[in-house]
Structure 1
Amino acid sequence: MPFEVLVVDDSPLVRAFVRDVIEQESDVHVCAEARDGREALAALERQSADLIILDVEMPGMDGLETLGQLKKRGNTVPVVMLSGLTGQGAITTLRALDLGAVDFITKPGPTGELKNIASALRNVIKDLRLREDQSVAHDVPLSRDHRVRSPGTIAKCELLVIGASAGGPVAIRTILEQLPSTFPAPIVIVQHMPPVYTAAFARRLDEVCALNVREGHEGQRLEAGTAVLAPGGFHTHLQRSGPDIVLALEAAPARNFASPAIDPTFSDAARVVGPGVVGLLLTGMGSDGVQGLRAIREANGHTLAQDRGSSVVFGMNRRAIEQGLVDRTVSLKNVVEVLSAYFPYP
């Protein structure tokens, strides 16, 4: 059976481009196109889809209203948003993720740059097709060399690093909202997001969390009770400055199709902190974070991964589990309890 995609965008040029990219993939087909949310909802009444590509800003029924209607109707089809690289676009897209969109792809302004979203579209389709296959599969078994170490047998840890991609914003918010302002270690978060979006996401988290949440900057000193979000467009490195750990930002090409990428931050955490670091790899597409988790493991740090059941996309965390790099899988329901064993707090 082909993988069916519904494309919703008011621009004929964007729809045609997305259709061309999609239909270059084997067994992937555009089942319908729509100019706004009303047409999209009508199309879904006539036929089913495996993926909805939905523009955020459209005349008539826009992306947010469409998502709300889909939610009311009990929609289970993954929705990926198309959004502009603007401050308002970032705020609206974060609201869309709260409403249930699994991921977003940024659209450049000039139409001549549409080719820049082709690789992102292909990656989305690849991982969501894998997700569909997993819906009938059993839980991924842990590798034979999987080891479980009890937090009670180790010294208190001094740094938590978190990596996420598709589905990450909701997962990160769910975790941070449950942590107290007295959390005894700094937290560094790498979420695949472009510039502007990371600043908006950090502000949004800071509003709803007891922890201080900030977008990272060059030379920033890590502090207990503060979560730092890696800024978009840079890879975030960690280094020692006396007793402190500080950030060093690298403006370099994307790694694993992402900037910020998870691997550089996780690898630095392994080198700088060693056994005192806990790495948590959350939901997401691709394989970013797998090598970083390997580095943490080789440094005798502690490795956690989100389980299949609570992941929007069981991609990079699945790969880490399959390669035997994970001490323990966690769900969004028990992850804070697990973290409290590594980072005891009142």
Structure 2
Amino acid sequence: VRLRLEIILSPLSLLPPFSLFQFINKSSQRKAVVATLIRNLHLLDKQVDTMTPEQVKQILPVLSELDGPLTSMAAATLTQDINIVNITHDKIQHLYYIYSVISILLIAMCITLGLLMLRQNNNLRRAHVRMKTLANDLQASKEKLQVQNRRLQYDAYHDSLTGMPNRLSFWQRLQEIVNQVRPYQGCAVVMLFDLDSFKDVNDTLGHDAGDKLLQDLASRLSFFRKTSETLYRLGGDEFAMLSYDLTEEMALERANVIREKISQPYQIYDAQINIDACIGIVISDGESRTDYLYKCADLALYEAKKEGSGHVQIFRPGMLQRLQENKSFEDDLLQALAHDEFKVYYQ
């Protein structure tokens, strides 16, 4: 009897206890069959050891009546298991589809991310190339600007025709020399000179010949560039030389060397030109006003030109006094003329 029941009820053992309980409770018929089965089994367990063959034959029909319902329950259990398997299979298949879509999306995202990274790398590489090109252009522009600045600075302090230092450089260097010699009571030396009859060269041979003459003169005097004494072109045919700590004799010697160099004949195109120069010299002797030193040198040059071509003069205080007297006399004459104070007598 037990073996038969185990065979019939074996499909029910496939369900977990809780699921089996739910399965039985879903149907009142199943609950009744199970209750009848339990009741008969309890009765059978109590009497099995004392039952006679006749009693066994009597209970077998009762148990046989449960074969159909129990078989139906077992079949229903199998059907439910199959449904659960099918539902689970559908869920697994649905999850498989979801996971497949997610996997495809992840693969697509990885590919997209890779493409974006590749594009970004290309953009970075192009940006690096552009930055490198820009840096090279900036460096080239910087070097070009530095060259232009040096050229502009050179042009600002040098004469474009002769290449000699110009008036701006003259004033700057004069101030430097004055500041340099002031602490030890030294002296600055200023020489101004211009060319005699230079205007005649321009008038007779043309300005091109005059420019060529100035260039040749600058070339002759280039030996001064190797010393601490520097020559300057102040404009036109006016030149200057700056030095320091020279005695009057040494200053006169330098001036005569310059004049001798200038006075040598020049071959300008097909013409030979002879010119000379007058030179005015001032020695500072404690004076620190650069404009005053220039004025004194210019006055000495004026006195040298009064004496004739090729003369050299050193500034003396009396020159300034005479200039002031002449200026005062000139002002008096102009004032007298304005006030009609002249009287004309005939003899």
Q: TM-score range by the shorter chain?
A: under 0.3
State the TM-score, normalizing by the size of structure 2.
0.23
- Normalised by the length of structure 1, the TM-score is 0.23
Structure with more strand by fraction? 1
Larger Rg: 2
